[in-house]
Amino acid sequence: MKYPDGRPAIKHISRKRKTKYNNKKVTIDGLTFDSQAEARYWYTCKQAYLGNKQVEIKYHEAFEIVPAYQIGSKKHAARKYTPDFTVYDKGMLIKVIDVKGGKATMTDGSSMRINLFMYRYKMPVTIAKWNRNTKKFDEEDR
């Protein structure tokens, strides 16, 4: 392709930007996960609850941790915490899981959101970290 004045068009090469934590999106069962660790955990979680028809696993369900508020004329939006997985048994929330790929992904911000969630909903959050040596998830309740 050329411009009307005869000079050649410049081709723009689009490059994928590296993500903050070098994670790669993965699609399994029609769900697109933010990282390979989340996809692995989904598979593990599905296997664990496979026989129980009353258990429902949700991915990236949002919970309000601070409601919207206004100070003077300035409005502040509601703050939400979105864990990676939530597990329901007969409609009751029984487990909240946040998958972390390593130490770097547990930031001060994520730690604060987890603590606010636990305070508001009185429910522990399970942190699942992939262990490369054992090829299993190490789970820790906060």
Choosing among 3.30.70, 3.40.1350, 3.40.50, 3.30.1490, the CATH entry for 54-141 is 3.40.1350
To the nearest whole number, what is the mean pLDDT of the chain? 84
pLDDT for 64 equals 97
In this structure, the number of other CB atoms found within 10 A of the CB of residue 99 comes to 26
Are 63 and 82 within 8 A, CB to CB? yes
Which segment of 42-46, 57-61, 65-69, 99-103 scores lowest on mean pLDDT? 99-103
DSSP 116: H
The pTM (predicted TM-score) of the whole model is: 0.77
Could you give the CA distance from residue 3 to residue 50 in angstroms, rounded to a whole number?
A: 60
Select the more confidently predicted residue: 91 or 47.
91
Strand 55-59 and strand 74-76: pairing? unpaired
- 29/82: higher pLDDT: 82
What burial class does residue 59 get, using C-beta atoms within 10 Å of its C-beta: 0-12 exposed, 13-18 middle, 19+ buried? middle
Q: Residue 44: in which H helix or E strand, if any?
A: helix 36-48
**Which of 62 and 29 is assigned the larger pLDDT?**
62
Whether the per-residue pLDDT at 9 is higher than 60: the answer is: no
pLDDT at 12: 47
d(CA 95, CA 6): 64
